[in-house]
Every structure is written in C-alpha cells, then in structure tokens.
A and B are shown apart, each in its own frame.
Chain A
Amino acid sequence: MEKRIENVFPLTQSQLQLWAGQKLNPNIPLHNTAHSFKIYGKIEEAIFQTAFQKLVDDVDALRLNFGEKDGIPFQYITTKLVHAAAVVDCTGMQEADIRDWIQARSQHMLELSTKAFDTALLRLKDGNYIWFLNMHHLITDAVSATLVFNRLSAIYQNLKKNSTIEIADSSKFQSYIEFEKDAFLDTDNTDIKTYWKEKVETTKGLPALYGGPSYDKTTASTRIAVKLGTERCQKLKVLAENPEIKGWTQNLTLFNLLSTIYASFVYRISGQKSFAFGAPMHNRANKSFKETVGLFMEIFPLYVRFEEHDTFFDVLNRIKLESNDYLRYAQPGMVTPEIGGSFNSILNFINASFSDFDGNKVQSEWIHPGHIDISHQVRCHVVDFDNTGELELLFDLNHSVFNESLIEKVPQHFLNLMDSFLNDIHTVVEKPSLLTKEQTKNRTDNFTQVSSQNLVIDQFAKVVKSVSAQQAISRKGDGYTYKELDEKSNQLATFLKKCGIEKGQKVAIHMHRSMDYILSVLAVLKTGAAFIPIASDQPAERIKFILSDAACALLLTNAELEKHISAGTTPLITLEKIQSEIDETSAVDFNVAIQREDLAYILYTSGSTGNPKGVLISHGSLANYLSWAKVFYKTDTPFVFPLFTSIGFDLTITSTFLPLISGGKIVVYKESGNGPDISLMEVLEENKVNSIKLTPSHLALIQGNNHVASEIKTMIVGGEDFKTTLAVDLQESFGEDVQIFNEYGPTEATVGCIVSRFDKAIHTNTSVAIGSPITGVQAYILDDYLNLVPEGVIGSLYLAGAGLAQGYLNLEELTTEKFIQSPFNTSQKLYHTGDLARINAVGEFEYLGRLDEQVKLKGFRIELTDIEANLLKHESVDNTAVVVIENEKAIPENEVVNCSECGLPSNYPNTDFDDNGVCHVCNAFQGYKEEAQKYFKTEDELRNLLMSKRGQSPNYDCISLLSGGKDSTYILAQLINMGLKVLAFTLDNGYISDQAKGNIDRIVSKLNVDHVYATTEHMNKIFVDSLHRHHNVCNGCFKTIYTLATQIALESEIPFVVTGLSRGQFFETRLTEELFWDKNADVAKIDDTILEARKLYHQEEDAVKDLMNVSAFNDDETFNKVQFVDFYRYSDVSLEEMLVFLKEKVDWVRPTDTGRSTNCTINQLGIYVHKKEKGYSNYSFPYSWDVRMGHKTRTETLEEINEVIDEVEVKRIMQEIGYTESSESELEQKRLVGYYTGKQKLSSIDLTNHLKKELPAHMIPTHFKYLDELPLTSNGKVDKSALKALNNSQLEMETPFVAPQGEIEVLLASIWKEVLRLKQVGVHDDFIALGGHSLAAIRVTARINEEVEMKFPLNKIFELPTVSEYAKYIEATLVALLEE
C-alpha cells in the first residue's frame, strides 16, 4: 500500500465531536457505520474489485486518514489508496454463521490513520452475494452511504458493459471541509451561535429516562427493530395530508409528526416537561454538496415544552414552530460540545434508501456495532432503507439505563403512545397507558389474598396462656406479668362494660406513656370498643375537638392530666379515682366477638383544614400488619421494645402491640413534662431493649456516638425519608449484627405496608429504598390518569389491600377523594398516599418525597432529598433539611377587591373581609373610633399652640413644610389666615416638577411669605436606600425633610414645625389601635408615647442617619426646642372643600407634569416599586385611613391609587438615581433554603462550593441557615412547616434559628408575629432586622404591657431587641415583683 499526504485539514465541528468520543473509548467500535447489502443475483467478483478501487479513487472521503498532533486532531487525503476488496467464500456457511461473521466484522476497529473503511464481498451458496461495507462515521453519514452504494453500482455496471459513459464527478469532501471552516469562522453567523448558546442555557437539565441511569456509564447498547406496519404508516400519511398539519414538504411533516410522538414518549418516560432531544441535520442544502460523500450531518437539539393537559395536537403545533427555528439555525459548522451535551436522546429521521445493484434486487441492513455515544441513552432511528413505503424504527438503548427486561418493553411503550396519537391526535398526551393491558394485568393481579388472621386480642390471649408468668411490661422497678396484665385489663374492661362501653363505641385515652396506657388500650379492645390515643402534650382545644368529633363514649385519663382537660359532655374517668373499685371487679375475660371489620382504633392526624382528621383502622387491618410484622421481624429472642414515642403517632402501634402478641416485653419510658423529650437517650442508656421503632430524625439525634454495646439488634425506621448516609452511620455505630429496616406506611394504611431491610451493598442511592409491599398489601405507582408508569418513572404511590383504613371519620368527601375505586379491580379501593415514588432497577420501591412538596423551579423537578444527601456529605454538617420557601401566592390584579367602605385592597397583607366586603381595619376601627376622636383637636387650639411661644424666635412663629402639593399649600394659606408669622420650607429633592415649582413660587409670592429651599447632595442615595428598606421613596424623603427642617428651626430658634401629614398618614406613621385600647388613656400620654417613638425613629439605621448630620437628635432637648405639629390633627377639611379654597384663594393649579396628583416626579417610581414588590400601592393603607377619617371618598382614593404609571419615565429615573430593580418581586420568589446542624456555622460560599461539585446550579440553595438542632414535630419528624415559615431577613440573620420555648417566649413571639406580620419568629431574631420600626415598637410594647399587666417603656424593645432577651427581662422583673 502506497500513500502520500496530499493535504492536511482540521476536523469539522461535527467530526471533532465524534473524534472526542472515539478517543475516550479507543478500543470500542462506537462509530462504525456498517451495512450489509444482500444482492439477489450474480456478481462478477473481479469486476467488483476493480469497481471498488475506482470508487476509492473517485471519492476523496474514502481516502481520508486521521491523526493527532499535540492533542489536536487533523485529517488528510491520501492521493492513492490501494484496496483490494476481499472476497469471502461463504458457500459452506449457514445463514446464522454468516450473520455472526458480519456482526463480528462490523465490530473490527478501523485503523483511522491508514484507512477509515472496510469492505468485503461474501459469496453465498445460493449464488447470491452480500456486499459488506463498514465506514467510520468520521467519513460518512446516512446520505453518504447511499451515495457510495449508488456510485459503486454505477461503476460496476459501466465496467461490466465496458461502457465509456463517464460517471459525473461530484464535489470533493475537501471543498466541504473548507466551506465548513469558513462558516464556522464567519462573523455573520454570530447570531446563530448566540441562538444556540441561549437555547442550551434555557433548557438545562437532561430528562431522566426511565428514572435515569441505574448502572455504570457505558457505550454498550442494544438495537431493537420495530416495523410500524402498513396500518400505522397509512395513518401517518393521512395525518400528513391534513391541511392543519401539513408542513412545507412531506418529509418535514413526517419529521414533525414523529418528533411529536417521540417527544411525548420522552416526557412520559421521564416526567420532565421541558427538554431537548437531538435531531441530526443532513446539511446538504447547497446543490454542490448534494452528491458528495462524507460526514455532513450535525446533530442539533430540538426543544420541546409540555404544558398541563396538552394534547398531541398542541405539542405538534409547538414543534412545527420550533422545527422552523431548528431549520433556520441548524447550519453547517455551528454544532459545539455544549450543544452536543444538551440532550441525551436522539430522533434520527433518515430519508435515504438503497436501490438495486446492477439491476439486482437488494436487501440492506444497517448493522449496530453494539455501542453508542456514551451520552446518548436512547437513539430512535426512523428508516426505510429498502424503500418499501413502510417505516421501521431502530431503537439503540444504552445499557447504563436499560436492562434486558426493560429493553423488551420499550417498543411496546412507544407503540402504545404512537397508537393513541394515530387514533386521535386530540388525545391528552398524559392519557394513554404506556403499558399494555397484559403488562398492567401482570402487575395488578400479582398479589396474594390474606387468609384469616387472628385479631390482636385473640393473639394476646394465646400468648397469655403460653407465657403467663413472664413479664409483659415494665417501667422502672414496676412491672406486670402476662397473667397480671391480662387480669388487670379484664377488670378494667368489666368496669368499662358496667359504665356502658360496648362494641361500636369509641373510648379516648389521654395518658402519658405508662403501664396504665397499655392496660387501658387492652381493656378498651376487650370491650369491643375502639380506642383513640391522645398524647399527653395535646392542647385542651384539640382534645375537645376529638372528643366531640368522634362522639367518644368515654375519656380515660390519669390524675396528672385531668386538670388540663375540658371534656365537655364526654364522661371522664380518672384511673386513680376508680382504682379501688376496679380491684374488686371480676378479672375474668368476658369474650366479646370481634369481626375484622370492627374498628380497632382511630388515630388523629393533622389535617389541611386546621382540624385533625380521624383515621379509622379496623381490627382486620391491624391484624394484617401485626401478623406480618411478627413473622417478618422475628429473631431468636422475643421482642423487647421500648414504648418511648408519642402514643398519638401510628408508628408507636408497633411498640404497643408487637411485643404483646409475640410473648415479648414492653419497657415503658414516660415522656418528660416539658422541654424536649429525652426518652431516647434513656432507652439507650438503660440498654434494656433488643428492638426499637423510631424515625430517622430520632436517629439523627444519636448519630455519631458509639453504640456497639447496645443490645438493640432490630431497628425499624419509619415515618420519614431515610437517608442512606444515616443508615450507613448507624450500621457502623451499632455494628453489623443490627438489622435495620426501613418501613414505609401512612397512618391510612396501618403503620407499615412497604418494607426493606437496609443493605449497604444494594442501597447506594440518596435514600434507602422503601422496598416491597408487605403481605396483604399492594402498591402501585400511577400517573395523573391512573396509568401504571413504566419502571423507573416517578409517579404517585397508591396502596390497596388488607391494610387500608376504612376512611376518615365524618369526612366523607375527603374519604372518597383519597380512597378511590381501583381501576384494576372493582372490588378494591386505592389509597392515594400523596407520596412520589418509583420502582428501581432491582424492583424495589423508592420514596421520593411528598407530591405537595414537589418542587419545580423553572420547569425542573428538584429533588430536595438529593440536595440533603449532598449537604450531609460535607464533613462539618451533621443533619440537614432543605425546603423551598414560597411566598403566598400574590392575588392576581384582576382578582383584587377593595374594601367596600375604605377601599383597602385585598392584597394588602393579612386583610380579612367580612361578608359585606368590609375590611378588618374598618371593623376594628368601629371599636375605638370614639376613643380615637380624643386625639383630634380644633383649629383654635392649633392657633393657641403656635402662638404660645411667640417671641422666642425673632422672625417666625413656625416653619410650614411646603411641598407644593395641595395639602401643604392649604396649610400655609390657613396659617397665614390665622395671623401667624410663617417660614415656608421646601425640600428640593431634585424631582419637584416644574409646574409644582411654579405653584410654590406663585403661592409664596401671593401669600407674601418667606421661603427656603433646602437640599442635600445625598438625595439619590437616600432614595435608593428607602426603596430597598421600604419599597418606596417617600420614607427617605420624609426623614430628610424632618432632619433638615429641624436643623433650620434650631438655627433660627423657631419652636414649631407644621407638617402636612394627612389624618390617614397619622395611622400609617404615628397612631395605632393599641394606643386607644385603654379607654381612660389621656391624650397627653398618647402624645408622650408618640414622642418617644419619634425619638426612636431618628435612631433607626438608614441612609439619612449614615449620610446626614443627625447629631441634634441625640440630644433630648432638641425635641423640646422644636416641636412637630400635625396641622390636620387640628383641622378637619374634606378634599373637595380644600380644592375649592385653593382654587379661589391661592391660585393653586394641579400639576400635570408629574404623571399623577403629586408635585413630585419620583413619587411614581416609589409606587411602581412598591406595587411590583408588594403587590399593592404604598398609598393604599394611608388612603384607606383618609377615607375612614372622612377626608376623602372611597372613589377618590381608588382613582388616585389606580392612576397610570409612566414606566419608561420610571426606568429612566431608576437609572438616574442608581437603583437596580430586583429581577423578581418578593411575591414571586421561591427560595431554596438549606438548613443544617453541626459543630459550627459554615460560610455559604463553602457550602455552595461543596454542592457545586455534585449538583447543577438550579439545585443549589440560595440561602443556608445554621440551626442548633432541627425542629421536630411531636411525632419526631422534622417540622418542615416551621422551617418554611422564615422570611428573607430571618434567613439572612447571622444568628441560628431557635424556636421559642416556655410561656413568655411563646407569648412574645406570637406578639411579634402579629405585629410584624411574620409566620415564624426565632428567639434570637433581631427586632429591627425583622422590620421593627418605632410604630411597631408602640404596638409590640402596648401588647406586652396589656398581656403581662406591666408598664414597660417603649425603648426596651430596642435595648433588648430579641425575644430571648426581652423574655429574660420580663421574667426577672416578674420574679423581682414576687419577691417584694
């Protein structure tokens, strides 16, 4: 073989991608593109060989060789490449052997540095031939294969006929290389590159096909061929002719149709609603390249988005548009590694076919080399190589995702979806089942009916007989043998019977964990009644609710708890009080006949309505769980369980009954009176039990300690997601001989119904799989249309079988909603757990969180458990909980209603409207309206006040704040009218409109008053600060005015500054309802409080305090020297009167150049920001008060509030003052928050960097918050709702979040919550950081004083700005008082 290098070229973009893949897998025939063509006829072998050499001479792509220099690949075209096509004699071979030969040959590695192809002619025994041709993908693509085939056929024909007709020479691939390089470098194509860059960026996140890879990454794949058949192809063609569907060409239409089906398939096997799949573009648009052999094809992503209830037709229409963009931008040389990484599956619509060879019929086959690109999990090729008119699908399925059993199912899943599509294109995409009827039947029929099981009381009775002298229960030194327990419970049962308790009734048991509790449970069951366990920590109200909801016949309790209960009409029995009576009662069992359907217990779980809901569990369901557990958890020694978890939690049922029905023992651990329950520590310390049932959160508390000496050998974990890392730690600290079980089960399916035994070799995912359903229970994973989802795909978990509850007590609607008719079995109910799950590759169920906690950010499903698991990998993190904090949904603007009296909008925080549409502020005001009137005075009083210090200043009685608006102009005129000497003061904030300035100048000259304009260079910074702090500009402006006016007043010794605050604004800034609670409060006192608040106001941190000279306010004297007087406290004038006066007397003209009714052009910026971030105008609240005070009408305020905002102007001013708008409003924010515990607080950067290694950007929490410990609910689960209630500033606080404890902290926290409108307050949260200002201080202090009957001063809250400090102070004060 001779060879000379003619020309060296770089690789094209498309070749580079293939090269990179091949380089990573140097010994894998990943890109071999082999075809076998069976030719039905005789071939002249020598002519064929000559023809093939001629082909190589003609086609430069075949002479391409590849190499690499300094890590950069190159290609060159050898001028001469001699290749004698091998002729293989297969006449002695069977068909199967020939197939094997071809398969093996097609997997030969091609030597790219010398020859990128391989060929052979196989002589068959039937006289026919097979031409085998294998080309590396670097030199070919689907169209090329047909070009090579046709050319060889033509050359062969020519040679055979000795024809002299020249076969037209086609362009060389070399020209394409040059063309492609130019296109790649062409700056005109920048917009194309930008387009793809943005596309890739906006659709990040690959769909997890069938749950994503379950096995190691590999190139290995299996090809499955599916012939669509005549009927389907016919239907496709009919659809393609539909004018509503038809695209430019039939091929484009078919591509769009198949893309729709394929995209729907990907959606249905991944659950992801927005993704891209790769679609190869053949790139031979230029006429000069139509016949050129070589790799032209580039793969570009086609983006799809699914919306709720989309039909196939909806998706098709979206794809039609998207494929137009695809065509526009899928241009030669534009593909990049980033583009290549934006999809993990391919739809390859191949429009190429092989005709005859020298007039002989040909049957072609594209041979799969057994490998595909490592990043492609599915490739679906649509082909019709032999031009039969019938399409064939070739699925290449990557073994990292697909095992043998799944590979078999894929075609059926696809075809089921395709058939629904073809039958009715208006079908909702989610509706058709992917599984065949048979597959569904296999999965749903596959369960065993439970045979009769002994009910719990019978099982207990049996045990009593066999081990009567053995201890059944113990607590501290006390204990009962089985015989004693049996007899004592018989006595109590007999007593209860005498009290009228019988089968069908319900008896509540409100007790501490105690031997009495177990005794009572047994006694109640023996009467045939059902028991309702109510834990000792339940509030009286909740107990009251349960007693009435369940119509309890009786409440059993202990003396210790009795005093907390108000049982209402329910009879109450305190065990201690009847003890002597019971002791004399018969100890003989009176054997009530109990059926499986009879109720055993009712467990109350928290409900979404605020009231708990009672779950009805029958004896049959209880027996099913216990009978299974007894066998499943059985060990050599009888169970010894601690009773240490809440009796109101269904997890505790295991510890309550399992020992008693199996001859084991219960060791009782009573809960501590208050504070955290440390029973678990006691259990471990005493080391008396061999089995334990608890939550992962309990376990996290004891994680890290060495427990090798523990007697515990069986650990049943339930109630929460069980992280693998925790399980691994436990296995290590307790030793390998401990069996750890993960038991899943909602209360509604009786304690546990899916279980796995932890095995660190198998359980390597984030969380320990929940395993397989227990005997008698069936579990299904279904989609929204109740179809079974395919393996690996996430769906909702439904349960059926013997463990199911009978429903919810008195909640028929909810029962029907949650316990639905099974679509698989008419005699069965399915319980909708609301949990997400999937079946993993080894057939175990995996729990993936709550449906209602399902988090989607920008179209991606976010696995909170995944983030948690990765956080846990950080060495300094002990425990973690990740939540999404979502602000309550903003009320859409068109749904906002306004109070029918004052106009307050319903999107103002915490509003509450009554049936007449009146807001709570108006209603509350009715209660103190009269008291509030005391605050207001007359104009005479004003005149007297302002004259009272006449002479103190040589020139003026007062300063009048003049903004140029109507209110301040009116004041100035009135003060002059009163005969006062006035200095008019205006803050020039840089945004007073020209017309307003005109007004000011005209007014001061007409009224003949002295006037000053004051200003500060810091105005813009003050605006920006005010926008950040208060979401408006006015707060900053007001404070600047007060500061500057005070300075002038001090300099000129002017004793009064008259403000133009409206009465409405008083209630925004000075007055609160609390001031008027005390009906005897005198006005002077209210004034004192307001003055105190004003002093605090000037101490608040903000830009004014930072940038301006505010030293005067540090001196209390200043507040005596300069008194602020609110004019409208003394004057009661309506808007209408005012406007008439202004027009007639002072020639005031409403400015038309501010865009609204003010004098200031920046005002609307404040309103814009406030509306955007808070949802309502900052004027809504003060204006509503103006209406309440009778100064404005509702219509007038609504008109003002709804004035149009000039957004262009607003944006211009934003730029001018240097304010950057936040990208999303506070209302829309979803914050991903990572809470963690550990030895110390870690920096967010540290945690972010740690997570970045494993997680995509959208899964990195925006906030991290350090906690001393995770808050738990009384059932021992992480209290996620508490964690979700923190607001932004709380998340940003340096201090760890600690929930309030003890009466006073809880009281303070509840006051803070109400006043500061927070959902949650931590005891170390800072009052000011939470938005506590002086007015809030008035409210909080007033409320505290009211509650504890003290007179704490206003500034205490700033001295002691946390709940913890203030609570300590209150406690100390109270203690001191008591000691006196």
Chain B
Amino acid sequence: MNEEIVAYIKNEITSEPLLEINSSDNLLETGIVDSMGMMKLILFLEKQFKKRVPAEDMTIDNFETVEKIASYFSA
C-alpha cells in the first residue's frame, strides 16, 4: 500500500515530483502534503479501500507518515 500512497502523492499532490518520500517521513510537518492535499489523499484512499474516515479520526497520529496512513487503512 505504501507505494500506492507515495505514487499518488507524487503524481497528484506535491509539486515537487522528484522528491524522495520514505514511508516514515513526516508528510505534514515537512509540508510535502498540506491539509487540502491530505484530504485529497484520504478521498482517494477511501475509494480505493472502501473505508470511510470519520472526522474524529483525522488526526496527526493517524496520518503523519505514509506508514501510519497505510496502517490506518489496513486496520
């Protein structure tokens, strides 16, 4: 799942496509993804995994790295 997430960020969200993204990189603090971008990613993953993210779950803890995002959606 990690690759899929990284690919989506690179293709659709960040304007710096050459950026290296590791699954433990903090996407939010580094500014790779802003809040609108994160929502875009969530909407994509929701469709992909048929899982709806409630507003309460939209925390830093759940979404700050690719790893965490993947584990949230696979849970």
Establish whether residues B39 and A285, one from each chain, have CB atoms under 8 Å apart when the complex forms: yes
Query: A637 near B: Cβ within 8 Å?
Result: no
Establish whether residues A291 and B15, one from each chain, have CB atoms under 8 Å apart when the complex forms: yes
Rounded to whole angstroms, the CA-CA distance of A285 and B36 in the bound complex is 6
Rounded to whole angstroms, the CA-CA distance of A527 and B42 in the bound complex is 86
Q: 0/1 per residue, B29-43, Cβ < 8 Å to A?
A: 001001111111011
Residue ID in chain B nearest A322 by CB atoms: B55
B contact residues around A282 at 8 Å (CB):
36
Rounded to whole angstroms, the CA-CA distance of A875 and B34 in the bound complex is 60
Given A248-B58, A251-B34, residue A287 in contact with residue B28 (CB < 8 A): no
Query: A1372 near B: Cβ within 8 Å?
Result: no
Q: 0/1 per residue, A308-324, Cβ < 8 Å to B?
A: 00000000000001101
Rounded to whole angstroms, the CA-CA distance of A325 and B54 in the bound complex is 9
B23-61 residues at the A interface, CB under 8 angstroms: 28, 31, 34-40, 42-43, 55-56, 58, 60
Rounded to whole angstroms, the CA-CA distance of A523 and B26 in the bound complex is 91
Establish whether residues B28 and A290, one from each chain, have CB atoms under 8 Å apart when the complex forms: no
B contact residues around A281 at 8 Å (CB):
36
The smallest beta-carbon distance between B12 and chain A, in angstroms, is: 6
Interface residues on B, range: 20 to 34
Establish whether residues A328 and B60, one from each chain, have CB atoms under 8 Å apart when the complex forms: no
Given A249-B35, A327-B35, A327-B39, residue A286 in contact with residue B58 (CB < 8 A): no
Query: A1333 near B: Cβ within 8 Å?
Result: no
Establish whether residues A285 and B13, one from each chain, have CB atoms under 8 Å apart when the complex forms: yes
Residue ID in chain B nearest A286 by CB atoms: B12
Do most interface residues of chain B lie in helix, strand or loop, or is the interface mixed?
helix
Looking at A248, A249, A282, the one whose CB has the most chain B CB atoms below 10 A away is A248
Residue ID in chain A nearest B9 by CB atoms: A287
Query: A246 near B: Cβ within 8 Å?
Result: yes
Establish whether residues A247 and B12, one from each chain, have CB atoms under 8 Å apart when the complex forms: no
Residue ID in chain A nearest B43 by CB atoms: A328
Rounded to whole angstroms, the CA-CA distance of A287 and B36 in the bound complex is 11
Looking at B11, B36, B58, the one whose CB has the most chain A CB atoms below 10 A away is B36
Looking at A283, A285, A321, A322, the one whose CB has the most chain B CB atoms below 10 A away is A285
Looking at A281, A291, A327, the one whose CB has the most chain B CB atoms below 10 A away is A327
B contact residues around A246 at 8 Å (CB):
60
A243-283 residues at the B interface, CB under 8 angstroms: 246-249, 251-252, 281-283
Rounded to whole angstroms, the CA-CA distance of A251 and B37 in the bound complex is 13
Query: B2 near A: Cβ within 8 Å?
Result: no
Q: 0/1 per residue, A814-831, Cβ < 8 Å to B?
A: 000000000000000000
Interface residues on A, range: 20 to 34
The smallest beta-carbon distance between A138 and chain B, in angstroms, is: 23
A contact residues around B60 at 8 Å (CB):
246-248
Looking at B28, B56, B63, the one whose CB has the most chain A CB atoms below 10 A away is B28
Given A321-B56, A324-B58, residue A247 in contact with residue B35 (CB < 8 A): yes
A contact residues around B55 at 8 Å (CB):
321-322, 324-325, 328
Given A246-B60, A247-B60, A325-B55, residue A290 in contact with residue B36 (CB < 8 A): no
Contact of A328 among B28, B39, B63 (CB under 8 A): B39
A contact residues around B63 at 8 Å (CB):
248
Rounded to whole angstroms, the CA-CA distance of A248 and B30 in the bound complex is 11
A223-246 residues at the B interface, CB under 8 angstroms: 246
The smallest beta-carbon distance between B1 and chain A, in angstroms, is: 20
Establish whether residues A327 and B36, one from each chain, have CB atoms under 8 Å apart when the complex forms: yes
Given A285-B39, A324-B55, A325-B55, residue A249 in contact with residue B15 (CB < 8 A): no
Q: 0/1 per residue, B1-28, Cβ < 8 Å to A?
A: 0000000000111110100000000001
Looking at B14, B35, B43, the one whose CB has the most chain A CB atoms below 10 A away is B35
Contact of B35 among A248, A291, A321, A325 (CB under 8 A): A248
B contact residues around A287 at 8 Å (CB):
11-15, 17
Establish whether residues B35 and A290, one from each chain, have CB atoms under 8 Å apart when the complex forms: no
Rounded to whole angstroms, the CA-CA distance of A75 and B43 in the bound complex is 31
Given A248-B35, A251-B35, A324-B58, residue A285 in contact with residue B40 (CB < 8 A): yes
B contact residues around A285 at 8 Å (CB):
13, 36-37, 39-40
A contact residues around B11 at 8 Å (CB):
287
A contact residues around B34 at 8 Å (CB):
249, 251
The smallest beta-carbon distance between B59 and chain A, in angstroms, is: 8
Q: 0/1 per residue, A277-304, Cβ < 8 Å to B?
A: 0000111111100110000000000000
The smallest beta-carbon distance between A452 and chain B, in angstroms, is: 67
| B interface residue numbers (CB < 8 A to A) | 11-15, 17, 28, 31, 34-40, 42-43, 55-56, 58, 60, 63
Known: A285-B37, A287-B17, A324-B39. 12 other contacts (CB 8 A): A248-B58, A249-B28, A249-B38, A283-B36, A284-B36, A285-B39, A287-B11, A290-B15, A327-B35, A328-B42, A328-B43, A328-B55
The 10 A-B pairs with the shortest beta carbon distances in the complex, nearest first, are A324-B55, A252-B35, A285-B36, A327-B39, A321-B55, A290-B15, A324-B58, A285-B40, A287-B15, A248-B35
* CB pairs A–B below 8 angstroms (20 shown): A246-B60, A248-B38, A248-B60, A248-B63, A249-B31, A249-B34, A249-B35, A252-B35, A283-B36, A285-B36, A285-B37, A286-B12, A287-B11, A287-B12, A290-B15, A321-B56, A322-B55, A324-B55, A324-B58, A328-B42
